[in-house]
Amino acid sequence: MADEAALRALLLKGLAGEEAAHRAFLTEAAALLRAYFRNRLRGRAEDAEDLVQETLVALHTRRDSYDPNYPLTAWLYAIARYRLIDFLRRAKHRDHAGLDGHDFGEPDPEYDAADAKHDIKVLLDKLPEKQRTAIRMVKLEERSVRETADATGLSESDIKISIHRGLKTLMRLMAGEQAT
C-alpha cells in the first residue's frame, strides 16, 4: 500500500486533471478503506464493501475539499470515519440492537475488491434524467464529455455539473439503500 507522500502525489496529479493518477489514487484509497472498514465491521464484509464504495464516491466528489497544506491521510480517514458513523447511526435507527446482535467473527484476511450489495445501475434510475444520462454516457458507456454534450445537445460544463451533482446524490442513495 502506498504511503502518505505517494498517495498525496497521486491525488494532487488527479486534481490537476491526470486521469490515470486519479484512478491510481482511488485504487490505493480503496485498499486503505477496505482495511479500515473491515476492521471496524468484523464479519460484515458486505457492509464494509458498501462503505468502501460510498466513501470512494465521497472522496471523488469532495476531492476539492483537500488542502495540500494538510496531511492527506487525516483528510481521507476523517471522511471514512464520518461515513462509518453515518452508517452506524442508520443501522441503529434500523434495529435498536445496532452492532450488539452481530457476530464479531475474525476479520477477513482477503482485502480484495469485492462486489457490494447495491447495484449502481439500479440506483441510477432514481436520479433526475439529465444527471442519469450524463453519468451513464460518460462513466458507464465510456464516451467523452464532448461526445455526450453533442449527443444530448447540452453544453460540456452542463454535463460536468450534472455528473458531479448526480454522483453526490448517488452517494446518498447508496447510503440510504443500506438503511432500508
* Residues binding other proteins (CB under 8 A): 14-17, 19-20, 22-23, 26-27, 30, 34, 49, 52-53, 56-58, 60, 62-67, 70-71, 74-79, 81-82, 86, 113-116, 118-121, 138-140, 142, 144-145, 160, 167-168, 172
Smallest distance from other proteins to CB 47, Å: 14
Whether 7 and 73 have beta carbons less than 8 Å apart is answered as yes
Cα→Cα distances 150→90, 155, 158, 160, Å: 41, 8, 12, 13
Smallest distance from other proteins to CB 92, Å: 15
- Closer residue to other proteins (CB): 81 or 126: 81
Cβ neighbour number for residue 18 with a 10 Å cutoff: 14
State how far the Cα of 151 lies from the Cα of 121, in Å rounded to an integer: 21
Smallest distance from other proteins to CB 101, Å: 25
Grid coordinates representing 14 are 488527479
Cβ neighbour number for residue 173 with a 10 Å cutoff: 18
- Closer residue to other proteins (CB): 78 or 151: 78
Grid coordinates representing 117 are 450489495
- Closer residue to other proteins (CB): 16 or 103: 16
DSSP state of 106: P
- Closer residue to other proteins (CB): 42 or 168: 168
Smallest distance from other proteins to CB 158, Å: 14
